[in-house]
Amino acid sequence: MITKERRAARDIRHRRLRRYVRGSAARPRLAVYRSLQHIYAQLIDDDAGRTVLAVDSRSKEFRALHTTGGNVVAAKAVGELLAQKAKAHGIERVVFDRGGFKYHGRVKALADAARAGGLAF
């Protein structure tokens, strides 16, 4: 019951953000989700309704370098991997969607690493 109530508040914040944040083919939406153990990031084309690219802390590329996925170091690594893959797909500009989470800690670390990797938002 407690989990449902905590999730409801985040869902409300996320819906409020999504009124203004929309991705396209030219500038996809960088959606971030964090759980206790992992962090996930994906580039989404909302016009076509498809995921262009996804990176998370459970992938083989990530696991080859890091053991845990629930800390700031892991979030930075996921941001760097995302920026590398986006550059390979020819994507340089994105719209950031923090998913109702505070722009703090792991979410901020992922965003900063993606910016350092060459994504503009």
* pLDDT tens over the chain, length 121 residues: 566 687 889 999 999 998 999 999 999 999 999 999 999 999 999 999 999 999 999 999 999 999 999 999 999 999 999 999 999 999 999 999 999 999 999 999 999 999 999 999 9
Q: 39-45 and 29-34 as β-strands: parallel, antiparallel, unpaired? A: antiparallel
pLDDT of residue 75: 98
* Cα torsion through 112, 62, 3, 50, rounded to 10: 80
**Length of the chain measured in residues:** 121
pLDDT of residue 5: 80
The domains located in the chain, with CATH, are 2-116 (3.30.420.100)
pLDDT of residue 6: 76
Whole-number Å distance between alpha carbons of 36 and 19: 27
